[in-house]
Structure 1
Amino acid sequence: MTFPVPEFDTGLWQAAEHELTAALDGRPLVAAERFASSGRTSYTGPAPIAAARPTLAVGCYEPWGPASPVEALTLEGRTALRGVDQRRSWTADLDRAAHAAIRRYRRPVVAAWYATDRLRRWAGPGGTVAAIDAALRAEVEDKANFGSILTASGVPADLHLPGTRVDGLLPSLRELRRLVRSDKVVVQCGVDSGGRGTVFVDDEADLARAAKMPGPYRVTAFVTGWSVNTTVLSVPDADGRLRAYVDRPSHKAVGLPEAGIGAGKSGGNTWCLPWPEEAAARLVDAAVRIARWAWETHRIKGLFGLDALLTADGQVFLNEINCRNQGTTEVSAVNQQLRGLPPFLIAHLTAMLDHPVTWLPDADDFNTTTVDLAAGTGPGPYYLKLRHRGQVSVRLDHHLGLPGVYRVAEGRLWWVRPGAHSADAGPGEVLLANLPAPGTLCEPGAELGTAEGITTAADAPFASPHTLSQAGRALLAAFDRHLLPTDRQEGTAP
């Protein structure tokens, strides 16, 4: 599906870039995220905003070509290695080098998911970390607190999952089942992302695993259906009143063994599958309520995300809040561009730097349109996570030398052109983003990038909440053909 280019309002784009530039006030923008290409949807593609391209990006994985910041410092660039350990330790591993690299710039603005003591040290005296404080993020995102947040926000009770908070030791499985009125129980705790801190409890062994997590706990009934995500932008106006903009909600595939994605973990999202209109309207209303609560209680602004569950009969249950950028932030920005607007990320950075954002439309009108789009059958972006599912380390063969646009043919992937934005992939094509740099050794479980594009429901990568579609399986099978085990030379038979 080609990108249905809207009629971009040049004045609107200029206003967004002008306000971000004014907010930066001559200070260099430094991105500190796992992907050194973070924010590429804003500064590449059909309507790029140059001010959003970082002067320096510090991350785990190397950027590429059109997605590159002006300068990059990555762990992969130093070690030529990808694995589970690296994606968890990169900030510590790059600590000294990042501190030295950023110190070369005067008054840097460090954009990140949340502000830690390490990032504040990287920014140095006079520097700014444009993100929610880690301690506040931990308080709000703590899964045990979510039920009370829903209540305090005035979210209707029928959007709450049946559940309870447990502050002490977890009771027996029988008691948990009684408390949540379900045979299958979900136990959550803490503020981990990516599905960590969540255990699905079917038996005593599962309960024992859950009990090893530190409390307090949120215990809820297991609900069958699609996991979903929506991005929310909170921007105060000149009088301090909040404007809350809710993005089109996604369908999230969770627990995809065929893609190497474990139970409770996301395999990617698509925004092209239709929603029941009433369910979409209720989700949008709840998101606005939570945004107002977060602003009035904690003065939280900028981007945050809501996870929910959508059942086959159209019920919505809110499940989790992530008051920061998310894994969906990059590709979900295409939704705003499909509506002829700059990405939320531009407004987020501007607002986090305490500069007014004036180019956004009326929030009520925007959210009404969100519901209409969610209930429709129009195209939307998607991404599918690529993981190394084998048991031995691999490198990509020479046919996948760089990220960019590819097509699947004859059971393998063929290079088409450079690219860095979902819109760069045309009919029958896919953008492979964040691939390992040439020669990088990829250990079992390593993130190998994402497959991205814009499509309709007929060609979505997911067939159900936990399975790939035929198109998704064909893409992964073709990708696997380009993984060369380290115990075999390229060009030899497997």
Structure 2
Amino acid sequence: MPGHDPGLWQAAQDELTAALGGRPLVAAERFASSGRTSYTGPAPVAAARPTLAIGCYEPWVPASPIEALTLEGRTPVRSVASRRSWTADLDHAAQAAIRRHPRPVVAAWYATDQLRRWAGPGGTVAAIDASLRAEVEDKANFGNILDRSGVLAALHLPAARVDSTLPGLHELRRLVRAEKVVVQSGADSGGRGTVFVDDEADLARAAKMPGPYRVTAFVTGWSANTTVLSVPDHTGRLRVYVDRPSHKAVGLPEAGIGAGKSAGNTWCLPWPRDAAARLVDAAVRIARWAWETHRIKGLFGLDALLTADGAVFLGEINCRNQGTTEVCAVNQQLRGLPPFLIAHLTTMLDHPVTWLPDPDDFNTTTVDAATSPGPGPYYLKLRHRGDVPVRLDPHLGLPGVYRVDDGRLRWVRPGAHPADAGHGEVLLANLPAPGTLCEPGAELGTAEGITTAAATPFASPHTLSKTGRALLAAFDQHLLPTDRKEGTAP
């Protein structure tokens, strides 16, 4: 990591502290370590460390908030069901925990009635309202957003909106002039609400989703994610900052990731200059539309496709924090800036942000960074791909920095930030707490670091690299099949 200007970090710290105004910061996200790249690592912002974190998975030292309440801490099981039900399972306990911290600021992906109940009288949920988020993220309406934002036609996928029952496969193909089509519905995340349609069976699955639908031509290439920060200033001018776009691996069965779902992102692979410039321009246009139409500010994300011949197409908008928010903060730190997340929290609390640079200069540099083969952060999702429950080998240790050695993982040192992992090392983050039973399909954490194209975990849009395969193979050596009833290895 490069050196940083202490005055800049102090300004970010002071403005977030002023925005909080003495109120406790409470994080409500699946990972109780959420925001750790802001409050750990080479240049931490102490004000971003939550007073209380409520989530599904236990945090670890040094990524811990001051206090944590997690489902895993109460019921040591990881499963697909638990990651979907944790807010309901912890509802009463969360309300009781927050009552010990009056007038909290609750940081979350979006503001729901449940989170407002958690915040209680005098509390604030620093996030976009769930109903507005659902309206803007509605996949069927994305084409309309592109039109209203004035995004160049070259970035639009061949698409059609279907408001009633989906027509037959032949008609869908005719609508978008493609043999393979993609049907999208609703405002869900994580690849849900998207079906790739090759045959009648796929079409039947797509038809089970509620309409209206967005139907697009399937385009071969890298999926990508771009994080955007919108900050209005005291004069009413909107400043828009566009982060370096990623290369996102999607649908990797070898990593336990299904079709249409992300296996992780890397920011070290270069983009063609024209494609990067067009994407940045489109992001600024969409941010301005969102502010002028809905007064949306703070963080949002754009998903895109980058083809082998350098064309870029926009896929959808994610009007909230995202799975990429944690690790993409390293991009800003590599450029000598505090993470966007600090500015996001500050501006969501209606406090001015003065430490950000000129947005035009920043976005020009983004295009330069995107076209450079220099180092960038990455993360690879770790999933339990087997058919029986497992526990982690107790010799693996806690989350931290590891090295692959003779086909196994060797502990190196504690860590919580991708920059903590040096050359040939990897940060294993959000691993299950000791003794946790992990059901098939469970999230087991993420592998993170800063690397160059030669050592990225992804070889192509849908395959792991040699480095990625070696890492997963070593990780698998530490998964012990476990009897669900007895809780012991057979």
Q: Which residue of 2 aligns with 1:55?
A: 51
Inter-partner Cα distance in structure 1 for 2:298 and 2:124: 16
Q: Quote the offset at 1:399 in angstroms.
A: 1.8
Q: Does 1:39 align with 2:35?
A: yes
Q: Quote the offset at 1:103 in angstroms.
A: 1.2
Q: Does 1:80 align with 2:103?
A: no
Inter-partner Cα distance in structure 2 for 1:346 and 1:271: 21
Q: Which residue of 2 aligns with 1:214?
A: 210
Given that 2:402 and 2:428 are in contact with CA atoms closer than 8 Å, whether structure 1 keeps it comes out as yes
SS of residue paired to 1:240: coil
- Structure 1: state its 5+ residue gaps: none
Inter-partner Cα distance in structure 2 for 1:401 and 1:101: 29
Inter-partner Cα distance in structure 2 for 1:293 and 1:124: 32
1:141-189: CA deviation from partner (whole Å, max 9, x where unpaired)? 0000100000000001110010011000001110100000000010000
Report 1:306-345 matches (<5 A): 306-345=302-341
Counterpart selection for 1:159 from 155, 161, 167: 155
SS of residue paired to 1:275: coil
1:306-365: CA deviation from partner (whole Å, max 9, x where unpaired)? 000000000000000001000000000000000000000000000000000000000000
Q: Which residue of 2 aligns with 1:135?
A: 131
* Letter paired with 1:401: G
Inter-partner Cα distance in structure 2 for 1:346 and 1:299: 19
Inter-partner Cα distance in structure 1 for 2:104 and 2:86: 20
1:3-60: CA deviation from partner (whole Å, max 9, x where unpaired)? xx22211100000000000000000000000000000000000000000000000000
Counterpart selection for 2:140 from 136, 144, 147: 144
Inter-partner Cα distance in structure 2 for 1:353 and 1:107: 13
Inter-partner Cα distance in structure 1 for 2:404 and 2:483: 26
SS of residue paired to 1:437: coil
Given that 2:56 and 2:70 are in contact with CA atoms closer than 8 Å, whether structure 1 keeps it comes out as yes
Q: Which residue of 2 aligns with 1:243?
A: 239
Q: Does 1:68 align with 2:64?
A: yes
Inter-partner Cα distance in structure 1 for 2:473 and 2:134: 39
Q: Which residue of 2 aligns with 1:91?
A: 87
Q: Which residue of 1 aligns with 2:266?
A: 270
- Structure 2: state its 5+ residue gaps: none
Inter-partner Cα distance in structure 2 for 1:144 and 1:377: 36
Q: Which residue of 2 aligns with 1:431?
A: 427
Residues 490 and 168 of structure 1, relative CA distance in 2, 3 Å threshold: closer
* Letter paired with 1:459: A
Given that 1:187 and 1:220 are in contact with CA atoms closer than 8 Å, whether structure 2 keeps it comes out as yes
1:122-149: CA deviation from partner (whole Å, max 9, x where unpaired)? 0001000000000000000000010000
Q: Does 1:478 align with 2:471?
A: no
Q: Does 1:174 align with 2:170?
A: yes
* Letter paired with 1:307: D
Q: Does 1:289 align with 2:278?
A: no
Given that 2:20 and 2:105 are in contact with CA atoms closer than 8 Å, whether structure 1 keeps it comes out as yes
Inter-partner Cα distance in structure 2 for 1:246 and 1:400: 38
Q: Which residue of 1 aligns with 2:454?
A: 458
Inter-partner Cα distance in structure 2 for 1:454 and 1:484: 29
Q: Which residue of 1 aligns with 2:393?
A: 397
Q: Does 1:28 align with 2:62?
A: no
* Letter paired with 1:143: K
* Letter paired with 2:62: P
* Letter paired with 1:116: T
SS of residue paired to 1:155: coil
Given that 2:27 and 2:106 are in contact with CA atoms closer than 8 Å, whether structure 1 keeps it comes out as yes
1:173-225: CA deviation from partner (whole Å, max 9, x where unpaired)? 10100000000010000011000000000111111110010000000000000
Q: Which residue of 2 aligns with 1:100?
A: 96
Given that 1:397 and 1:490 are in contact with CA atoms closer than 8 Å, whether structure 2 keeps it comes out as no
Q: Does 1:198 align with 2:207?
A: no
Given that 1:392 and 1:485 are in contact with CA atoms closer than 8 Å, whether structure 2 keeps it comes out as yes
Inter-partner Cα distance in structure 2 for 1:361 and 1:253: 31
Q: Quote the offset at 1:112 in angstroms.
A: 0.1
* Letter paired with 2:223: S
Q: Could you tell me the TM-score, scaled by structure 1's length?
A: 0.98
Given that 1:246 and 1:370 are in contact with CA atoms closer than 8 Å, whether structure 2 keeps it comes out as yes
* Letter paired with 2:211: G
Q: Quote the offset at 1:490 in angstroms.
A: 12
Counterpart selection for 2:250 from 250, 254, 258: 254
Q: Could you tell me the TM-score, scaled by structure 2's length?
A: 0.99
Report 1:416-427 matches (<5 A): 416-427=412-423
Counterpart selection for 1:110 from 106, 112, 122: 106
SS of residue paired to 2:201: helix
* Letter paired with 1:273: L
Inter-partner Cα distance in structure 2 for 1:21 and 1:165: 45
SS of residue paired to 1:303: strand
Given that 2:55 and 2:71 are in contact with CA atoms closer than 8 Å, whether structure 1 keeps it comes out as yes
Inter-partner Cα distance in structure 1 for 2:483 and 2:352: 57
Report 1:371-382 matches (<5 A): 371-382=367-378
Q: Which residue of 1 aligns with 2:8?
A: 12
1:245-298: CA deviation from partner (whole Å, max 9, x where unpaired)? 000000000000000000000000000000000000000000000000000000
SS of residue paired to 1:67: coil
SS of residue paired to 1:148: helix
1:380-414: CA deviation from partner (whole Å, max 9, x where unpaired)? 00000000000000000112221000000000000
C-alpha RMSD of matched pairs (Å): 1.2
Given that 1:484 and 1:490 are in contact with CA atoms closer than 8 Å, whether structure 2 keeps it comes out as no
Given that 2:482 and 2:488 are in contact with CA atoms closer than 8 Å, whether structure 1 keeps it comes out as no
Inter-partner Cα distance in structure 2 for 1:145 and 1:124: 34
Inter-partner Cα distance in structure 2 for 1:89 and 1:129: 20
Count of equivalent residues: 489
Inter-partner Cα distance in structure 2 for 1:370 and 1:377: 13
SS of residue paired to 2:62: helix
Given that 1:406 and 1:430 are in contact with CA atoms closer than 8 Å, whether structure 2 keeps it comes out as yes
Given that 2:151 and 2:285 are in contact with CA atoms closer than 8 Å, whether structure 1 keeps it comes out as yes
Q: Quote the offset at 1:61 in angstroms.
A: 0.2
Inter-partner Cα distance in structure 1 for 2:41 and 2:373: 23
Given that 1:382 and 1:454 are in contact with CA atoms closer than 8 Å, whether structure 2 keeps it comes out as yes
Q: Which residue of 2 aligns with 1:348?
A: 344
Q: Which residue of 1 aligns with 2:405?
A: 409
Q: Quote the offset at 1:491 in angstroms.
A: 12
SS of residue paired to 2:338: coil
Inter-partner Cα distance in structure 1 for 2:167 and 2:275: 34
